Amino acid sequence: MDESGIRKRKESQNGSTDLTKDNKEVVKAIALQKDVGLLSGICLIVGTMIGSGIFISPKSVLLYSGAVGPCLLIWTACGVLSTLGALCYAELGTMITKSGGEYPYLMEAFGSIVAYLYSWTTIMVLKPSSFAIITLSFAEYASTPFYPGCSPPLIVTKCLAAAAILVITSINCLSVKLASYVQNFFTAAKLLIILVIVGAGIVLLAQGKTENFSNTFDGTATSFGAIGLAFYNGLWAYDGWNQLNFITEELKNPFRNLPLAIVIGIPLVTVCYVLVNVAYFTVMTTTELLLSPAVAVTFGDRVLYPASWIVPLFVVFSTFGSANGSCFTAGRLVYASGREGHMVKILSYINVKRYTPAPALIFNGVLAIFYTIPADINTLINYFSFAQWFFYGLTALALIVMRFTRKDLDRPVKIPVVLAGIMVLVSCYLVLAPIIDKPELAYLYCTIFIFSGLILYYPFVYRKVNWGRKIMRPITMHLQLLMDVAPPEKTE
């Protein structure tokens, strides 16, 4: 820690101490606070998982699976896989109660290099690209009503997505509680619209609208790679099941609330996804669903008219809430990585008044704005899933490894090790199947990027070159003064 940082922190603490003496309040340490309870934890999982996926990905899952029957089975299987993965993370999260998602688990099991490559890939590509994809979906739904009969101009969509990123990042920088309230509100909104869609589907089924459920397995895809891609797109819609592990240090009573939120949240999302797809198929044939530019909006136009406008409105709410959850958790990974010295130290600093990791959140937001420039969302999803599931599998393997190497660690939640083994095998399939079925250079580029992080790791992390510190010292000092941040204190 540099001397200017120490002086800044002491000045901040002294000012905070005087203020709290006048107001007879308890002085808080400069650290992330435990402000997230069980309800907010459930809302973070549900709200992040239910984003644009259920409104866009049904087309992709159906396209690759080929028929209604396998499509519904894949949606259910994706929910089961997500639950298995989350149970693995429940054991890891209650065993190693550090924020940062997979990062501390990979650090403990495999060492610094593997954890660094994960943080490098996730911070620089996976998290900001995910944030960008969700906000682009938000922008598309939000702008569509203003351009009836045609698609919104690309520049409008991109500018609106960038504006959403700025707003969401600002909310998360202002207050953890405010970000949690926003997440809770938008989670309630998306569950409400899902209830409306499912309720309408049940009514239609009761009226005999079942023609699309006959011969449901005709045309089923048999390609090894096509099924893998169907799972990719389904699991993209379920992505978010591991989000609570990114904020373990801010979770009240994590030994109870982490596994409980997982057990409640993910089955709820699975039921919602399957029933929503059933509702879609009561109204649209497979061809109509594939041709629909926005499946949920088409459903609303056919079933809820003249109140069909509520569907795109609530879809906008849904995607905004999912983007908020993505931003909330991404900042904690950047923060954890900076704290361990795998990113520049300023990214681990905390705002001395608001107790938020503002530098980390701003960094993630800036990268996300850059990722709004490419427009092909489906390509981003496929390559995002390729890299992400590599690390999911590695984390499940970390659980197995630590059963032998870290027997001394307390495990409040302990799952059968066979579940972790299943996750490793599934991850291998999801990573290798599309590559074997249809090799593309993009997969090689993704792999090269992951290992290119070693170019920076050796001089700046392993060797800790002096000239790097000399360059960063004045930059860190000025950013501390600009953002009113200080290094985090160690808390019990």
| CB contact at 8 A, 12 and 339 | no
Which pLDDT score is estimated for 23? 46
Q: How many angstroms separate the CA atoms of 90 and 103, rounded? A: 15
Which pLDDT score is estimated for 443? 81
What SS3 state is found at 17? helix
| CB contact at 8 A, 241 and 102 | no
Which pLDDT score is estimated for 380? 59
Residues listed for the chain: 492
Tokens of 154: 């690309």
| CB contact at 8 A, 251 and 258 | yes
Q: How many angstroms separate the CA atoms of 412 and 446, rounded? A: 37
The Cβ of residue 308 has, within 10 Å, a number of other Cβ atoms equal to 15
DSSP 125: I
Distance of CA 266 to the CA centre of its chain: 14
Q: How many angstroms separate the CA atoms of 356 and 347, rounded? A: 11
Which pLDDT score is estimated for 267? 93
Q: How many angstroms separate the CA atoms of 394 and 401, rounded? A: 10
Handedness of CA 8, 10, 11, 16 (dihedral sign): positive
Using only the alpha carbons of the chain, give its radius of gyration: 23
Which pLDDT score is estimated for 441? 81
Phi/psi region, residue 215 (left: phi>0; alpha: psi -120 to 50; beta: rest), is: left
Instruction: Quote the pTM value.
Output: 0.87
Question: Which residues lie below 8 Å from residue 376, measured CB to CB, with a gap of 6+?
Answer: none
The Cβ of residue 27 has, within 10 Å, a number of other Cβ atoms equal to 11
Which pLDDT score is estimated for 228? 72
Distance of CA 273 to the CA centre of its chain: 17
What SS3 state is found at 419? helix
| Tens-binned pLDDT, residue by residue, of the chain (492 aa) | 444 444 444 444 444 444 444 444 456 788 888 989 999 999 999 998 887 667 655 667 777 777 788 888 988 999 999 999 999 999 999 999 999 999 999 999 999 999 999 999 999 988 998 898 889 888 988 888 788 878 888 899 999 999 999 999 999 999 999 999 999 999 999 899 899 999 999 999 998 888 888 877 777 766 766 777 788 778 877 888 899 999 999 999 999 999 999 999 999 999 999 999 899 989 888 888 888 777 877 888 888 888 878 888 888 898 899 999 999 999 999 999 999 999 999 999 999 999 999 999 999 999 999 988 875 655 655 666 678 888 999 999 999 999 999 999 999 999 999 999 999 998 888 888 778 877 888 788 888 888 999 999 999 999 889 898 899 999 999 999 999 999 998 765
Q: How many angstroms separate the CA atoms of 171 and 18, rounded? A: 28
Side-chain half-sphere CA neighbours of 147 within 13 A: 13
Which amino acid is present at 177? K
Closest residue by Cα to residue 426 from 211, 253, 208, 232: 232
Q: How many angstroms separate the CA atoms of 165 and 158, rounded? A: 11
Which pLDDT score is estimated for 10? 46
Closest residue by Cα to residue 135 from 155, 161, 166, 172: 161
Which residue intervals of 207-285 are DSSP H helices?
A: 224-238, 254-283
Which pLDDT score is estimated for 8? 46
Q: Which residues pair with 486 in a beta bridge?
A: 350
Q: How many angstroms separate the CA atoms of 409 and 105, rounded? A: 12
